[in-house]
Amino acid sequence: MKISKWWVPFMVALLIAAVVAGCSDNKKNDSGSHVTANETPSGSPNATSDNKGQSDQEQLPANLNEAEFPIVKEPITLAMMGAKTANQLVWEEMAFFQEMENLTQIRFEFDTPAAENYREKLNLRFASGNLPDVLFGANLLPENEILFGSQGQLIPLEGLIEEYAPNIRKLLDDNPDIRSNLTTPSGHIYSLPFVDTPGAFGVYPKLWINERWLEAVQLPMPSTVDELFDVLLAFKEKDPNQNGQPDEIPMSFHLVPGSGVPDIQSFLFSAFGFTGPVTVDDSIVRFAPFEPEYRSYLAFMNRLYAAGLIDKEGYSQTVQQKNAKGNNSTLGIFSAGGAFQVVGNELDKNYNLLPPLVSEANKQPFSIRGNNLIRGTFAITSSNAYPEATIRWVDHLYSKEGAILAAQGIEGKHFEYVDNGQGLKALIPEGENPAQFRGTISPNAGTFIPRIHEPVQKLNQYKIEETNPLNHHIAVESKLKLEPIARDAFPLTYFTLEEQQRLKVLEVDITSYVNEMSAKFIVGDTSLDQWDAYISTLEKMNVQEYVDIYQQAYDRWNQGG
């Protein structure tokens, strides 16, 4: 018998439905109610990295609720990996994940290395192929997205967003610049961002200075690096904490996880004309450690170190160790989002922002404004058997309700609305550090996670001087000293796969050499008389090719490509 052409799709559909039903029956456990991430999801085909994200509406996974909550009809478990910071509770006990599980019926098993070791362990997971299902607070670099995406270890998200993530889809449709900044040269979106509000104080690197100490040593707020040296010297020699002990640490720091550079560098760079390690002047890309002004920066840092004005434990201490010094009233200047994060609530009032400085290398003061879009905060790997449910889970964080839950917690337990919902007040227990309180709620404390900030910012700004005086302090200081003279940091760019592969080779030598030699120059193990030899070594490492690749990427970005 001859089968008509219209009958073939119908028969195929019946066959798929039968397979789906069989999978649905076979994937239940003994209780018939719980499936795990290692099993094939009910009604979801075994997709490759090329076809994940291209979901067919007619083949909606049987366990998935397309729009309403819970997201899945029967509970599922996924493996999540993310970077845990010092102030955070263990993720399993965070109110955010518990509430999201109640709402969605999706629970997670967590792998949360300390932020200092996270990137190394993440790379090992990708190298071994033993992947978690979800990366959250992922801190993925653009090169991670390009490399792991091209290898099929990260799945493209654009199809999943179009089909299952209305909040993210609206965000991208309403903000084409965000979409373009997330889209790799291959045309795929491999990660989701934290979207800050323009002008939010979190985008500025900051140094906090103890103004009570300034008053004690009878010096004005410094405006040049030489004046800063004089202030730090006075902090060391004149007992500004007035306890009769030489225990003052004029300026402390720790190394930024994953970069190996002092956290104070991001602020001090502007005094020498840089907006970051890679900086742009009149559309010309410069690599700071290859520029003469960087020598001036190193000379200044060496001068501070030799005089005992910066913490000699900085290259080895943890964030917790630095914070302990702050709580003991021994720190004059340090880097932090807010002073209270280091010195606690009571001492916060003693600290104000150090204004941007100038030097012989740069006569015009400016602050550095980071991007309000933080990429790489969330990704789905090829090990994830439930990409549709997973994208629906994270999509909630791009709604007002989900963003508030991720940032503030649960109403009545972690915060309360004020004045008929116009603002909110955090219910921080008496005497508890706000950063530690937030660390019991979600990884949002100290980690960029996927969400929007605008609805949270709007609520937080309402009568902020009453509801959150500590953040009000940061906002006032930032608006006064940083916002009016801000310059943008290097923009968000992606590299082509070929560029990324070449950068990966170049960076291994260049980055490690720069970090090693910078530390040696600062602590005096190597004299700056060896600067020419240092530059010559970088040239042999093809540093100009490294700069040229960044220039090409910047030119594409600048031309809207």
Q: What is the pLDDT of residues 379-427, one digit of tens each?
A: 999 999 999 999 999 999 999 999 999 999 999 999 999 999 999 999 9
Does residue 52 fall inside a structural domain? no
The answer to whether 489 and 278 are in contact (CB under 8 A) is no
Closest Cα partner for 316 from 399, 260, 359, 269?
A: 260
118/255 same-domain check: no
Does residue 474 fall inside a structural domain? no
515/553 same-domain check: yes
398/342 same-domain check: no
Domain boundary among 462, 479, 504: 462
* pLDDT class of 199 with cuts at 50, 70, 90: low
363/222 same-domain check: yes
Q: How far apart are CA 300 and CA 469, in angstroms?
A: 35
CATH number for position 410: 3.40.190.10
Tokens encoding 514:
């720069």
Q: In total, how many domains does the chain have?
A: 2
**pLDDT greater at residue 70 or residue 434:** 70
511/453 same-domain check: no
339/210 same-domain check: yes
Does residue 23 register a pLDDT over 50? Answer: no
Return the pLDDT at 310: 96
Return the pLDDT at 172: 97
438/504 same-domain check: no
The fraction of the chain above a pLDDT of 70, given in percent, is 89
Residues 131-164: tens digit of each pLDDT: 999 999 998 988 899 989 999 999 999 999 999 9
Does residue 32 fall inside a structural domain? yes
97/177 same-domain check: yes
Does residue 141 fall inside a structural domain? yes
Return the pLDDT at 40: 35
233/361 same-domain check: yes
Per-residue pLDDT, averaged over 24-36, amounts to: 35
293/158 same-domain check: no
114/193 same-domain check: yes
Does residue 470 fall inside a structural domain? no
Return the pLDDT at 501: 87
* pLDDT class of 35 with cuts at 50, 70, 90: very low
Does residue 287 fall inside a structural domain? yes
Model pTM above 0.85: no
Q: With 0-12 CB in 10 A as exposed, 13-18 as middle and 19+ as buried, what is 433?
A: buried
Does residue 3 fall inside a structural domain? no
351/249 same-domain check: yes
**292-to-192, 289, 295, 333, 360 alpha-carbon distances in Å:** 37, 8, 5, 26, 12
**543 lies in which domain range?**
205-369+491-558
Cβ contacts of 498 within 8 Å, gap of 6 or more: none
Q: For the ranges 192-206, 481-495, 525-539, which has the lowest average pLDDT?
A: 192-206
Per-residue pLDDT, averaged over 479-488, amounts to: 95
Return the pLDDT at 542: 98
- Listed in order, strand segments (DSSP E) in 410-490 are 415-418, 423-426, 451-452, 486-488
Residues 202-241: tens digit of each pLDDT: 889 999 999 999 999 999 999 999 999 999 999 999 999 9
Per-residue pLDDT, averaged over 441-467, amounts to: 92
Closest Cα partner for 105 from 131, 139, 82, 77?
A: 77
Return the pLDDT at 389: 98
Return the pLDDT at 59: 63
DSSP tally for the chain: helices H, then strands E? 22, 17
Residues 40-94: tens digit of each pLDDT: 333 333 333 344 444 444 467 899 998 899 999 999 999 999 999 887 889 999 9
Does residue 2 fall inside a structural domain? no
